[in-house]
Every structure is written in C-alpha cells, then in structure tokens.
Structure 1
Amino acid sequence: MATDTYTGGLEGAVVAVAGAGGAAGRAALKRLARAGAQVIAADADPEHLAASVDAARVEAPGAEVTGEIVDLLDPEATEDWAARIEKDHGRVDGLVHLVGGWRGSASFPETDLADWDLLHRLLIRTVQHTSLAFHDGLMRSPDGRYVLISAAGAAAPTAGNAAYAAAKAAAEAWTLALGDSFRKLSGENGLTTAATVLVIKALVHDEMRAQRPNAKFAGYTDAADLAEAVAALWNRSPTEVNGTRQWLTPRP
C-alpha cells in the first residue's frame, strides 16, 4: 500500500489507465512510469495489455506497472476495479480514459445505426462507468485528474462520421459535467481535482508511419506527444484545466 506522503504531481501518484492496450495506452504507460507514477492499466485484450505493460516496465525499470483485464461495460466490474485500486494503494490520483473505436460511412444516408450502438458502448458507456466509479476516489486525492481523449470531429461533424462525432460529443459533455461536480463539491482548500478533455484530430504512431511512408498525417498527434500532454496535466493547477477542452490540434 502507498504511503500517505503524496502531495501532488506524478511522482508516487496512483494512476489508472483505461484502454491501455493500444498505441496511445502504451505511450501513456511509458510516460507515466518514467515520471514515477504507480500505474494500473486495464484493457479488454490480454495480449495487447501485456505488451503495453511490458513496454512500460522496460522503459522505466523499477516502476510499478500492473495490468488487469476489466470489462468497463460492466458498471459493477468497473466499480470493483476502482475500489481495489484504492484498497491496494491507499488512494487513486488519476484515471486516463483511452478506450477508443471508430465507425463511419461513405455518406450520411448510408449511416448504419449499428455503428452507433457499438460506439455508444465504447465511447460513452465506458466514460460513464469509469467516471462514476472513480469520482469519489479522485475527490479524495490531493491532486486528482480524470482525462478524456476526444476528437476534433465532435466540434465539426462530417456527413460520414455522424455516429462517431455524436458519441465523442456526448463523452465530452459527460466529462465536463464531471468537472462541474468536482468544482461544486470542492472543499475549504479549493479545487484539487480536475476533469479535462484533450482534443486531437487523430492519432499517429511509428507503426502507422511505417505502413504509410508517404502519408503526411497533417494535424495528427503523435502518441508520444499525447502522452506528454496527459502527464503535463499534473503540472497544471486544477482550476486551470478543470472542465476544459485542451486542443492539441488546430480547431476546425
């Protein structure tokens, strides 16, 4: 169990990462581990999760990085995960939400509402479940953060991305409401916990560049740069970042 000497920042912080098996998750785990955080990663894919955890341990020898298969579509399983983290570590100081998914169509009339059903579960339900499960624990932290990764398309939906943009917009609104809760429930010492949306156009990483060597990826955010932006939130005051959209790409 962690000691009770934590006062803020990432050194010694206990940070959970949801959807840690992808490229963004791998980069985030590495960056958080290098900063001295105790990282608890979750994903639905055992192989991808194990690869991300192993990469973070190699990146930061001696860092405490663990992985757990958690069904974030199950509210009770998500609540149990949050409770176990607090029980095992004494507190929880962050939840980084990286659960993703994309579906689109050639035109608006060709939109398949089955895509909405899938994206609703992946992009909205998981945000609802994690935010509700971690809300109280993050409020108990002296420097808690809830971080959602969103997409510029939520602010400028295109015809073929109706389901995706709508799901991202809903997830953003939910996260901003979480930030309002943190503000309203802050105690005598002022706001100590923040909910923040980081907005990108799309993500790019080395494997994508290798697969498409001639692509420009204009406006895309590198996975490592996204991880830096996530880590930097612990170096900014909660009043500065709570209930905000932080743009990592030009606004559409």
Structure 2
Amino acid sequence: MDDKDALDGAVIAVAGAAGPAGRATLLRLAEAGATVIGADADVARLAEAVDAARYAHGGSTVTGDTVDLLDQRATQAWADRVEGEFGRIDGLVHLVGGWRGSPTFAETDLADWDLLEKLLIRTVQHTSLAFEGPLKRSDRGRFLLVSAAGASHPTAGNAAYAAAKAAAEAWTLALGDGFRKAGDEQGPAAAATILVVKALVHDAMRAERPQAKFAGFTDVKDLADRIAGVWERPASEVNGTRLWLTEQQ
C-alpha cells in the first residue's frame, strides 16, 4: 500500500501548520489525497500555508483554523468542529515547535522553561486529549509527534528544551499505551508515534546560510514524506515507537 491509498479520503489535522514543516506537511498530505485541516495562532502565515497547498493540489480540500492550542477548551472545540464537519478524524500531526538555549547549564534561564513548557508540552496535552476519541473511532487513526534527538541525549545548554521534549515524548507514549489497551487481539486500531530529528532545515535557511552544511538535519520535505508514510504501516507496528530520521542516540 502506498500513501496515496493509505491517505485517500483521510481527514488529517495539523497543529502548528503555518511554519516551514507545517507547510510541507499540508502539501504532502494533500498530494496523497487527504482532507487537511491546519491550525495555527498566526492568522496570516496560516492563510499563506493553506493557500499554497490548495494551489499546488487543486482537487484537494485544505482548510485552516485559527486556534489557540494553549486553551484546552478551544482545542477541544476545534476537534469537535473538525469531526462534526467531516464525519471523522484520522490523524493529528503535532508540529508546534520552539527553542531556547543557553551557553552553559549554569546560565539556564527558567523563563525559557516557562515558554517551552507551553509550546512543547501543553499543546501536546491539549491536542492528544481532544483528539484521542476521534482517533480511536477511526480505522486508521494516528497521533504523530515530531521530537528531537536532544530529548534522549540532553546537553548542558539545552536543559529546558531537552526536558520539555522528553516530557512530550513520555506523554505521547502514554497515549500509545492507551491505544494499545483499547485494541483487541489484532492489536491497536490507532497509533501514537514519535518522529525524531536532530533539527529541521528548509530552503530559506539554506539561502540565508549557503556555506552551512546542516549535517544531520532533516529537510522539512523529507519529514513530510515520513509523516505520510506512517499511514502505510499497521498501527501495531508504529504505535508507541520512535522513528529516527537522524542517527539514533
């Protein structure tokens, strides 16, 4: 089964859809035949991302919702609205990101943690709680978290970032355990999967730093391909797993 078959007619929500990874993912999922609903707090950038995906794939349904994912009620309302309008939800791709770091461990600013806890953990909590029910009801439900290798190998200057990513991974694996327990002898019907990168790179970054090698970085287009590919594999094979897109640490 290729992703065109696996995603044809699927309804996929993308949280954090306005950034470079979100734009690439909207395009890729639309290309595979999915109905795609992007959410972001940045109205203008979200509109640009949605319009780009619509233009590239004229026959696809790509829409955007301005949602504050730090508001649990608003996130739940978004999930309810998507399921009510389209009749099902087959995936939630979590692409909300952010980074803060320091030169040394001693120079860590706990204000960085306050920000990263919201962006990298709270949004995972809200989306997973809101979308768990619809994903369980789907015959191909997938919750996908994009994480960083630093969660497994934290460095002194990345304490807040690595800890936040590790917490988000633990939360996602707990969701996967819930999917496992809700399954039958055939295994879980839905899956929670973590895609691990060192860092992401896109064309604008390369244009700004033409001499940089970005060693070990994952291009956002390659990330989008791997995201789409998760639907090609059985839920039992990808549930509760980390899929490494960079060297495993």
TM-score using structure 1 length:
0.96
Distance 1:9 1:91 in 2: 15
Distance 1:191 1:176 in 2: 13
Among 167, 175, 179, the residue aligned to 1:178: 175
* Long gaps (5+) in structure 2: none
The answer on 1:95 being equivalent to 2:92 is yes
CA displacement 1:64-100 (0-9 Å, x = unmatched): 0000100100000000000011100001000000000
* Long gaps (5+) in structure 1: 1-7
Among 133, 136, 146, the residue aligned to 1:149: 146
Question: Which amino acid in the other structure matches residue 108 of structure 2?
Answer: T
Percent identity (aligned): 68
Residue 19 of structure 2 corresponds to: 22
- The CA deviation at 1:21 is 0.4
- The CA deviation at 1:147 is 0.1
CA displacement 1:79-129 (0-9 Å, x = unmatched): 000001110000100000000000000100000000000000000000000
Residue 33 of structure 1 corresponds to: 30
- The CA deviation at 1:189 is 5.2
Matches for 1:112-191 after TM superposition, within 5 Å? 112-187=109-184, 190-191=187-188
The answer on 1:55 being equivalent to 2:47 is no
Among 201, 204, 207, the residue aligned to 1:204: 201
Count how many residue pairs are aligned between Structure 1 and Structure 2.
245
Aligned to 1:173, the other structure's residue is in SS state helix
Residue 68 of structure 1 corresponds to: 65
Distance 1:68 1:23 in 2: 17
Distance 1:160 1:47 in 2: 33
Question: Which amino acid in the other structure matches residue 44 of structure 1?
Answer: A
- The CA deviation at 1:187 is 4.0
Runs of 4 or more above 4 Å deviation = none
- The CA deviation at 1:56 is 0.6
- The CA deviation at 1:59 is 1.5
CA displacement 1:136-185 (0-9 Å, x = unmatched): 10000000000000000001100000000000000000000000000001
- The CA deviation at 1:188 is 6.0
Distance 1:189 1:38 in 2: 28
Distance 1:89 1:53 in 2: 17
